[in-house]
């Protein structure tokens, strides 16, 4: 596939890095020549110095032959303009990053589509939805819903309280014959394991589970995890993610938001009618005590600084908060933050890249998600009539070793698969896969 990426910022570079590892012809376009020189030295792709809103520069980037044009510069206006121009110049599909909720209103979205902007991506909105989802299901590290919640994917940490500890996959299957769940991966230290029957669960493992919603409580009990309702929460940072999360949650729970900038705090107080806005430094232990941190069920740190968010979550945990969520934009910090027990982490780059990545795949992909603490990804693919995946029961199909099918959505029902499951045309199939296997997996669904 020929792909032009406009914008060598955090999202653009991360996306280029992921796609350059596959068989794509990629061009990265940006004004900043220094950034492009750095990219040139690390990645196998073509870079062009120029403006994505310049028709001449877009022609030089060969958008006429582009299967996909992705505009992810820091400027929303530039992204929309360049996507429109790219479409007019011949790009088959265009995606633009936005910072304004207004554009997602159906009539506005439809109007932009008529102009040539096929898809819109709003990373802060994706991040806010992720935070709200994590707070709705306690006891998990990662959580993702498929087809409106018909199947769930979540991560649970194995502790000494867990009945799963030191048991093999086969032994757990015998214990839980009536449970609708399947373990699809194990993160152990820096390694991700696609488990088979002989693999054993160890203390400290992060196990990724696919289950039906009504089986989640049983899985949590097996894992020794306490589930509780979030009634009181605190947000650190009045960023777009903080604002959107507060607008949604403030109507449902008791919510406080701490913002260090005084002028911004005043504006937020007017905007967030259902949230108590406090002007102060959320890293100040005395301030947190005064604002009742010990009464909080959850603490969400979404300032623009990864280090601040990590330290604030560690402090909140030390002061008794069970559920902590940190925005960690520096990818190099993610494993470190996970190992020292920060809690759940979100990353806008990974969320945006996951959303865009599915448009680069040959199979019919409904959803795609890179997991924050693992190099693996989860995809939801639709089985086509006569595709290889429909040709027999799963255990006879020679499915890639580095991938695991967790479940399917057939009609309105979620189903956990076994080796004897026969996937049918139009089934939506939830797959956990390592990057090395993704192209092999695609071939099963073409």
Going along the chain from its start, the domains and CATH numbers come out as: 2-121 (3.40.50.720), 137-222 (3.30.70.1450), 229-321 (3.40.50.720), 352-445 (3.30.70.1450)
Among 122, 78, 84, 82, which Cα is nearest to 104's? 122
Phi-psi region of 436 (alpha: psi -120 to 50; beta: other; left: phi over 0): alpha
Tell me whether residue 82 is exposed, middle or buried, using C-beta atoms within 10 angstroms of its C-beta: 0 to 12, 13 to 18, 19 or more. buried
- Structure token digits, residue 320: 């008794």
Model confidence pLDDT, tens digit, residues 159-190: 888 888 888 888 888 887 666 888 898 988 88
What is the pTM for the complete model shown? 0.83
The Cα 11–Cα 432 span in angstroms is 23
CB distance 283 to 312 below 8 Å: yes
pLDDT at 355 over 90: no
Question: What per-residue confidence (pLDDT) applies to 236?
Answer: 97
The Cα 191–Cα 402 span in angstroms is 13
Question: What per-residue confidence (pLDDT) applies to 299?
Answer: 97
Model confidence pLDDT, tens digit, residues 89-120: 999 999 999 988 899 999 999 999 999 999 99
Tell me whether residue 420 is exposed, middle or buried, using C-beta atoms within 10 angstroms of its C-beta: 0 to 12, 13 to 18, 19 or more. exposed
The Cα 153–Cα 161 span in angstroms is 22
Question: What per-residue confidence (pLDDT) applies to 305?
Answer: 93
Q: What percent of the chain is modeled with pLDDT above 70?
A: 98
Q: What percent of the chain is modeled with pLDDT above 90?
A: 56
Between strands 206-211 and 25-30, the pairing is unpaired
């Amino acid at each position: 596939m020929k792909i032009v990426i406009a914008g060598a910022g955090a999202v653009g570079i991360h996306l280029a890095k992921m796609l350059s590892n596959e068989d794509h012809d990629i061009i990265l376009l940006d004004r900043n020549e220094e950034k492009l020189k750095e990219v040139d030295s690390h990645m196998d792709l073509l870079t062009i110095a120029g403006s994505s809103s310049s028709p001449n520069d877009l022609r030089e980037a060969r958008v006429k032959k582009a299967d996909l044009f992705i505009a992810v510069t820091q400027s929303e206006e530039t992204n929309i303009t360049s996507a429109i121009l790219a479409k007019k110049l011949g790009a088959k599909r265009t995606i633009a990053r936005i910072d304004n909720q207004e554009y997602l209103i159906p009539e506005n979205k439809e109007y932009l589509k008529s102009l040539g902007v096929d898809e819109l991506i709003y990373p802060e909105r994706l991040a806010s939805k992720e935070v709200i989802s994590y707070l709705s299901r306690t006891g998990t590290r990662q959580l993702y819903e498929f087809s409106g919640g018909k199947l769930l994917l979540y991560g649970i940490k194995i502790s000494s309280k867990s009945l799963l500890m030191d048991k093999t996959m086969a032994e757990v299957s015998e214990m839980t014959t009536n449970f609708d769940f399947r373990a699809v991966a194990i993160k152990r230290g820096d390694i991700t394991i696609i488990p088979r029957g002989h693999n054993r669960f160890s203390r400290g493992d992060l196990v990724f589970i696919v289950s039906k919603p009504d089986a989640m409580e049983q899985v949590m009990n097996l894992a020794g995890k306490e589930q509780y309702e979030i009634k009181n929460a605190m947000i650190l940072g009045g960023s777009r993610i903080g604002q959107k999360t507060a607008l949604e949650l403030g109507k449902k729970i008791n919510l406080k938001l701490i913002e260090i900038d005084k002028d911004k705090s005043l504006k937020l107080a007017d905007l967030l009618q259902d949230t108590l806005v406090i002007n102060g430094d959320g890293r100040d232990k005395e301030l947190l005590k005064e604002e009742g941190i010990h009464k909080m069920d959850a603490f969400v740190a979404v300032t623009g600084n990864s280090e601040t968010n990590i330290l604030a979550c560690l402090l909140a945990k030390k002061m008794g908060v069970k559920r902590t969520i940190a925005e960690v934009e520096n990818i190099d910090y993610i494993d470190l933050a996970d190992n020292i027990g920060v809690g759940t982490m979100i990353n806008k780059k990974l969320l945006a890249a996951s959303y865009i990545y599915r448009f680069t795949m040959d199979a019919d992909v409904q959803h795609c998600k890179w997991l924050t603490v693992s190099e693996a990804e989860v995809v939801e693919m639709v089985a086509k009539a006569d595709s290889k995946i429909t040709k027999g029961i799963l255990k006879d199909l020679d499915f890639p070793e580095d991938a695991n099918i967790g479940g399917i959505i057939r009609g309105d029902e979620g189903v956990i698969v076994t080796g004897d499951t026969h996937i049918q045309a139009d089934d939506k199939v939830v797959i956990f896969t390592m990057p090395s296997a993704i192209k092999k997996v695609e071939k099963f669904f073409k």
